[in-house]
Amino acid sequence: MFLSRDDTMKILTKEEFFVHKQEYLKKILDGAVFIYPTDTIYGIGCDATNEISVAKIRKIKERWDAPLSVIAPSKEWIEENCEVFGKGHDYLKKLPGKYTLIFALKHEDCIASNVNSEKGEKGKEIMELSLGVRIPNHWISDVVKELDIPVITTSVNRHGESFLTNISHLPAEIRNNVDFAIDVGEIKGTPSQVIDLVSGEAIVRR
């Protein structure tokens, strides 16, 4: 079952988004779920500290237990909130770039409790407290930096289906549950490379 909505998703060009940027930044801070381009593929996201918005993304994607990743507002935010050591320092220098780096969390309250699992706090009892972080080599990272909060980043698709490369191909069941989308045409990319650095070593996971 999907969320019911009375309005339709607003589709913006990059230029329209920047003309009305402050309005849309406020929408994100107020809980909006939105679709945006990155240096890899389109992502769907929200304020990663907003538990209600994160729950909406899990419902849209039908992804209940798998951890979600974030675009971090800065490298300093990553170092402040994640355990960065060993090869983690080397990979952090590669950002911005097409990597998702998984670190152990130092401060679990830097994200909503359901970013790691739909179960929130209960799920944390059985799941390792870690977080996948990105800083894309893309203007969307400047937007996140201005927001000064982490933003959920996950592919635009229901769990197990192909990721979105063109906003015009967005399924109705997703379109009807998103507040706005920034359309830059087709993105012929692939998802970021996932590097697990929880132990301080580098383990490629995708």
Query: How many beta carbons lie within 10 A of that of residue 98, not counting itself?
Result: 18
Do residues 79 and 107 make contact, with C-beta atoms less than 8 angstroms apart?
A: no
pLDDT at 123: 45
The span from the CA of 105 to the CA of 129, in Å, is: 6
pLDDT at 4: 38
pLDDT tens digits, one per residue of 77-105: 999 999 999 999 999 999 999 999 999 99
pLDDT > 70: percent of the chain: 91
pLDDT at 128: 62
Asked if the model's pLDDT at residue 67 lies above 60, the reply is yes
Tell me the domains of the chain and their CATH numbers. 10-204 (3.90.870.10)
pLDDT tens digits, one per residue of 20-50: 999 999 999 999 999 999 999 999 999 999 9
Look at residues 135, 181, 172 and name the one whose alpha carbon lies nearest to residue 27. 181
Q: Give mean pLDDT, residues 37-64.
A: 96
The span from the CA of 2 to the CA of 60, in Å, is: 7
**Which of helix, strand or coil describes residue 190?**
coil
Asked if the model's pLDDT at residue 121 lies above 80, the reply is no
Asked if the model's pLDDT at residue 206 lies above 80, the reply is no
Q: Give mean pLDDT, residues 129-139.
A: 97
Look over the chain and give the mean of its residue pLDDT values, rounded to a whole number: 91
pLDDT at 160: 79
Asked if the model's pLDDT at residue 132 lies above 80, the reply is yes
Q: Give mean pLDDT, residues 64-76.
A: 95
Asked if the model's pLDDT at residue 125 lies above 50, the reply is no
The secondary structure of 28-39 as a DSSP string is HHTT--EEE--S
The span from the CA of 62 to the CA of 150, in Å, is: 22
pLDDT at 83: 97
CA end-to-end span of the chain: 30
Do residues 43 and 153 make contact, with C-beta atoms less than 8 angstroms apart?
A: yes
pLDDT at 120: 52
pLDDT tens digits, one per residue of 156-198: 998 778 898 999 999 999 999 999 999 999 999 999 999 999 9
The span from the CA of 122 to the CA of 116, in Å, is: 11
Tokens standing for residue 86: 């060993």
Handedness of CA 136, 137, 140, 141 (dihedral sign): positive
The span from the CA of 98 to the CA of 19, in Å, is: 27
The span from the CA of 64 to the CA of 59, in Å, is: 8
Q: Give mean pLDDT, residues 2-15.
A: 72
